[in-house]
C-alpha cells in the first residue's frame, strides 16, 4: 500500500520546494512540470482577464541562498555541482542560479516519484540544453525516453531576423518498468497500405495475405504519435477561445491530455509542482486520474475552481478541490519520541564540530537543531538533525540551513 499524506484534488499555494519536502516518498505515478524558463521576463496576465493578478518572476540572480545550495549540492551530488559551475562560465550567474533552483527541486521530486513513475519536464531552448544534462544526472541517462518537440505553427512573431521560435521541448524520463500507452493521432488524409500481421512461426511482422494468397490492402486513418507533436496554441492564445483563461504561459489541454494518457492509467496520481492555471490538473480530472497541483500564485486555486466548474457542470461543487497553504508533515518516516536523545550519535558523526561554523565545541555546548525546521515540514528523524553551537543556533533560529550558511558566508566564516 502506498502511504500517502495528501489527498487527490489538492491544490497547494506555496513554494513547491517546501511542499515537496513534506510529501511522503514514492507516492506519485506521473509528474509534469513546466517551470519558468529563465527567459529574463516577468510574466503577468492581461488586466481584465480571468487570470489578472497572476504574475511570476522569471529572472534569476545568484544570491546568498544559491551559494548555500551550491555547497549542499557539492557534498551530495558532485556531478550536478560541476554542471552548475560550467553553466556559469558559459552563460553567467543567472543560468547557474536558475539551474540551482531547479536542481534542488528535481532532487526532491525524485524521492516523491514512484520507482515505476514517469516525469516530463517542459522547457524551451533558453535552458533546455542544460536541463537535459541536469535530468541525466538526476534520473540516470539510461532512463531518458524521449525529447518531445511541441510544435505550434500558429504562433506569429512578426519581422524577426531569424526563423520563428515555434516549438518547446519536453524531456521524458522513466525507469523500467513503467506505464506506456501508445497514443494514436489522426492522419491528415487516410493512407492505403499493405496490411501487416504478426507471424507466430516466424516470430516477426509479415505482409498480410487474403484467402487467395494476394496481399491485403487496408486504409489507415490514424497512426502512433511520434516525438514531434503539432498542437496549435490558439486554444490558449485566441481571446475567443473557451479554453483560454488568460493565465500567462497557459498550455493547451490537448498537450497535457496526451502526456497523461501515454504515461498513466486511470486512478494513477499525477503531480504538477509548477501548475499555473492548473492545466495538468484539469486534464488529469478529465481522464479519471488523481491529481495534485502546487503553485506560488494564489490564482491557480481560483482558476482551477472556475475551470472544473466549466468542465464538470452540475456535478461540480467547490468542496471538490482541497486548497492548502500549509506544509504537509511526512508520515512515512518514524519520528523518534525524543529527538534530543540523538545528541551523542550526532556528536560522533560531526566529530565534535558545529554543523554551521565547523568549530569544535565541548559536548555540553552543543544544541540539537532541525536542519529543515519543523515549521517547514522537517522531521525529528536523525537525518534531519544536527548539532550547532549556541551562536549558530541563534543565527539560524527557525530558518532553513541555507539561511545559516548564507549568513556565515556573509560574515566571512569559511564553511
Ligand X SMILES: C[S@@+](CC[C@H](N)C(=O)[O-])C[C@H]1O[C@@H](n2cnc3c(N)ncnc32)[C@H](O)[C@@H]1O
Chain residues binding ligand X by CB under 6 A are 15-16, 34-36, 56, 247, 249-251, 274, 276-277, 279, 294-297
Task: Identify which of residues 4 and 256 has a Cβ nearer to ligand X in the complex.
Answer: 256
Judged by beta carbon, residue 307 or residue 369, the one nearer ligand X is: 307
Residue 355: count of CB within 10 angstroms of its CB: 23
* Residue 356 or 400 with smaller CB distance to Zn ion: 356
Cis previous bond, 330, omega within 30? no
Among 246, 293, 356, 373, indicate the residue that binds Zn ion (CB under 5 A). 356
The distance of closest approach from Cβ of residue 35 to ligand X in the complex, given in angstroms and rounded to an integer, is 6
Q: Residue 307 carries which DSSP code?
A: H
Whole-Å CA distances, 36 to 14, 41, 122, 250:
15, 9, 9, 12
Q: Which is nearer to Zn ion, 127 or 354 (CB)?
A: 354
Least Å from the CB of residue 110 to ligand X: 17
C-alpha cell at 119: 516525469
- Residue 187: CB minimum distance to ligand X, A: 28
Q: Which residue has cell 540516470?
A: 140
Q: Is 131 in the site for Zn ion (CB under 5 A)?
A: no
Distance CA 164, CA 158 (A): 9
366 binds Zn ion (CB under 5 A): no
| Smallest gap from residue 125 Cβ to ligand X (A) | 15
Shortest Cβ distance from residue 408 to ligand X (Å)? Answer: 24
Q: How many angstroms separate the first and last alpha carbons of the chain?
A: 42
Length of the chain: 415
Least distance from Zn ion to the Cβ atom of residue 349, Å? 16
- Contact between 101 and 58 under an 8 Å Cβ cutoff? The reply is no
Q: Shortest CA distance to 298 belongs to which of 38, 14, 42, 1?
A: 14
* Cβ distance to ligand X smaller for residue 118 or 393: 118
12, interface contact from ligand X, Zn ion, none, CB < 5-8 Å by kind: none
Find which of ligand X, Zn ion, none residue 330 binds, CB within 5 to 8 Å per kind: none
Q: From the CB of 404, what's the least distance to Zn ion, in Å?
A: 9
Could you say which of 103, 148, 389, 404 contacts Zn ion (CB under 5 A)? 389
Q: Which is nearer to ligand X, 98 or 361 (CB)?
A: 98
Work out whether 357 is an interface residue with Zn ion (CB under 5 A): yes
Q: CB-wise, 315 or 411, nearer to Zn ion?
A: 411
354 binds Zn ion (CB under 5 A): yes
Q: Using CB under 5 A, which of the segments 133-141, 216-224, 323-331, 357-365 binds Zn ion?
A: 357-365
Q: Would you say 17 and 35 are in contact if contact means Cβ atoms under 8 Å apart?
A: no
Q: Which does 389 bind (CB under 5 to 8 A by kind): Zn ion, ligand X, none?
A: Zn ion
Provide the minimum distance between the beta carbon of 90 and ligand X in the complex, in angstroms, as a whole number. 24
Contact 293, 251 (CB under 8 A): no
Does the footprint of Zn ion cover residue 68 (CB under 5 A)?
Answer: no
Kindly state the cell numbers that stand for 215.
Answer: 496481399
Instruction: Determine the Cα–Cα distance for residues 157 and 311; give it in Å rounded to an integer.
Output: 32
How would you class 290 by CB atoms within 10 Å of its CB: exposed for 0-12, middle for 13-18, buried for 19 or more? Answer: buried
Find how far residue 186's CA is from the centre of its chain: 30
Measured from the CB atom, the residue of 56 and 361 that comes closer to ligand X is 56
Question: What, of Zn ion, ligand X, none, does residue 392 touch, CB below 5 to 8 Å by kind?
Answer: Zn ion
Given strand 10-13, what is the order of strands in its sheet? 228-230, 144-151, 167-174, 113-123, 28-33, 269-272, 290-295, 10-13, 322-324
Using the rule CB under 5 A, give the single segment among 32-40, 257-265, 370-378, 388-396 that binds Zn ion: 388-396
Minimal distance, residue 327 CB to ligand X, in Å: 12
Residue nearest to ligand X (CB): 276
Q: Which is nearer to ligand X, 42 or 141 (CB)?
A: 42
Q: Which of 34, 109, 13 is nearest to 279 (CA)?
A: 34
392 part of the interface to Zn ion, by CB under 5 A: yes
- Strand residue runs (E) in 202-356: 204-207, 217-224, 228-230, 269-272, 290-295, 322-324
Site of interaction with Zn ion (CB under 5 A): 354, 356-357, 389, 392
Amino acid at each position: 500500500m502506498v502511504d500517502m499524506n495528501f489527498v487527490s484534488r489538492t491544490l497547494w499555494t506555496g513554494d513547491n520546494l517546501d511542499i515537496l519536502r513534506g510529501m511522503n516518498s514514492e507516492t506519485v505515478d506521473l509528474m509534469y512540470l513546466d517551470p519558468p524558463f529563465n527567459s529574463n521576463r516577468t510574466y503577468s496576465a492581461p488586466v481584465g482577464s480571468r487570470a489578472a493578478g497572476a504574475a511570476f518572476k522569471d529572472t534569476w540572480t545568484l544570491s546568498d541562498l544559491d551559494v548555500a545550495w551550491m555547497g549542499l549540492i557539492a557534498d551530495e551530488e558532485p556531478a550536478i555541482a560541476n554542471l552548475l559551475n560550467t553553466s556559469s562560465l558559459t552563460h553567467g550567474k543567472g543560468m547557474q542560479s536558475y539551474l540551482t533552483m531547479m536542481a534542488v527541486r528535481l532532487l526532491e521530486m525524485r524521492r516523491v516519484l514512484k520507482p515505476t513513475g514517469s516525469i516530463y519536464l517542459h522547457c524551451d531552448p533558453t535552458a533546455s540544453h542544460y536541463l537535459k544534462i541536469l535530468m541525466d544526472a538526476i534520473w540516470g541517462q539510461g532512463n531518458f525516453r524521449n525529447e518531445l518537440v511541441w510544435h505550434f505553427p500558429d504562433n506569429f512573431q512578426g519581422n524577426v531576423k531569424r526563423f520563428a521560435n515555434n516549438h518547446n521541448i519536453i524531456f521524458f524520463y522513466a525507469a523500467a518498468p513503467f506505464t506506456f500507452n501508445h497514443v494514436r493521432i489522426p492522419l491528415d488524409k487516410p493512407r492505403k497500405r499493405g496490411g501487416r500481421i504478426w507471424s507466430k512461426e516466424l516470430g516477426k511482422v509479415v505482409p498480410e495475405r487474403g484467402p487467395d494468397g494476394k496481399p491485403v490492402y487496408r486504409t489507415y486513418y490514424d497512426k502512433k504519435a511520434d516525438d514531434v507533436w503539432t498542437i496549435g496554441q490558439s486554444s490558449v492564445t485566441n481571446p475567443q477561445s473557451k479554453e483560454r483563461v488568460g493565465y500567462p504561459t497557459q498550455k493547451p489541454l490537448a498537450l497535457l491530455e496526451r502526456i497523461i494518457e501515454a504515461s498513466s492509467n486511470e486512478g494513477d496520481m499525477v503531480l504538477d509542482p509548477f501548475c499555473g492555471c492548473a492545466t495538468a490538473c484539469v486534464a488529469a480530472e478529465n481522464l479519471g486520474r488523481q491529481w495534485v497541483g502546487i503553485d506560488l500564485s494564489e490564482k491557480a486555486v481560483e482558476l482551477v475552481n472556475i475551470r472544473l466548474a466549466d468542465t464538470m457542470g452540475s456535478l461540480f461543487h467547490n468542496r471538490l478541490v482541497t486548497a492548502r497553504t500549509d506544509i504537509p508533515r511526512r508520515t512515512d518516516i518514524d519520528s523518534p519520541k525524543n529527538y534530543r536523545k540523538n545528541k551523542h550519535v550526532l556528536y560522533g558523526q560531526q566529530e565534535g564540530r558545529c554543523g554551521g561554523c565547523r568549530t569544535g565545541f565541548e559536548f555540553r555546548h552543543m544544541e540539537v537543531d532541525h536542519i529543515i525546521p519543523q515549521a517547514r515540514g522537517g522531521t525529528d528523524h536523525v537525518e534531519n538533525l544536527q548539532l550547532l553551537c549556541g551562536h549558530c543556533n541563534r543565527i539560524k533560529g527557525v530558518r532553513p540551513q541555507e539561511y545559516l550558511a548564507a549568513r556565515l558566508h556573509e560574515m566571512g566564516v569559511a564553511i
